A and B are shown apart, each in its own frame.
Chain A
Amino acid sequence: KAGVTQTPRYLIKTRGQQVTLSCSPISGHRSVSWYQQTPGQGLQFLFEYFSETQRNKGNFPGRFSGRQFSNSRSEMNVSTLELGDSALYLCASSLKVPLQKGDTEAFFGQGTRLTVV
């Protein structure tokens, strides 16, 4: 079965622009989470969507937003880009309604490498 697909893989933007990243979860998975990974901060949780609703949110400014569609695909948007937004953005999907204990593993996409210049 296909894994988590993130597009694009690489992106270069200039300060002040906005960007939209896409994530297609594993078929049947209803939860999508987004993370920002930088060398200095490690993996930081952005937000999580389940059935088109944002259920959890990390400590990121309002410039970071997201949404989930009825087919569970999710998009993340960053407006007014800053140099510090350069990072690897990862999305992960999981069942979130586990049939049994242990069905909560998160499966990650390959990420989108965003560079802000």
Chain B
Amino acid sequence: TQLLEQSPQFLSIQEGENLTVYCNSSSVFSSLQWYRQEPGEGPVLLVTVVTGGEVKKLKRLTFQFGDARKDSSLHITAAQPGDTGLYLCVGERAYKYIFGTGTRLKVLA
């Protein structure tokens, strides 16, 4: 059973555009991580959010944890080709990781 739904599944945009990826669940998580994965490589941790309502910024990336700790969003401002990759949200609860379905982003130059 997939407990973490990501949307959209696929996204192809032009360089300079903004985008938002959503990660939704009906379950509460202790923490939530966002990863980016490039083809043939392992996922690389971008950020961890642990407090409801928390907002973290990583250069052009803004991450938010929902107030109820059931959902999260990733907003990218002025996307660049280097942002291309698979974005995964991972919820952690009782030391178990629940993986999101993934969002495959392609940024065209």
Residues of chain A touching chain B, judged by Cβ–Cβ distance below 8 Å, are 4, 6, 31, 33, 42-43, 45, 56, 88, 90, 92, 96, 101-102, 104-111, 113
Contacts and interface: CB of A to CB of B under 8 A. Distances in A.
B31 A88 contact: no
B4 to A, nearest CB: 11
B42 interface: yes
A108 B43 contact: yes
A105 B48 contact: yes
A45 B102 CA distance: 15
Contacts of B48: 102, 105
Contact of B96 (A6, A56, A111, A113): A56
Interface in B20-55: 30-31, 33, 35, 40-45, 48, 50
A115 B99 CA distance: 24
B43 A102 contact: no
The dominant DSSP class at the B interface is strand
Given A102-B48, A105-B48, A96 B42 contact: no
The interface centre, meaning the residue of A4, A96, A110 with most chain B CB atoms within 10 A of its CB, is A110
Nearest to A95: B95
A111 B42 contact: yes
A108 B44 contact: yes
Interface of B: 30-31, 33, 35, 40-45, 48, 50, 88, 90, 92, 95-97, 99, 101-102
A101 B35 contact: no
Contacts, number: 51
A29 B43 CA distance: 18
The interface centre, meaning the residue of A33, A43, A107, A113 with most chain B CB atoms within 10 A of its CB, is A43
B50 A101 contact: yes
Contacts of A43: 88, 99, 102
A90 B42 contact: yes
Contacts of A108: 35, 42-45
The 6 nearest A-B residue pairs measured at CB = A108-B42, A102-B50, A43-B99, A110-B42, A108-B43, A111-B42
A113 B99 contact: no
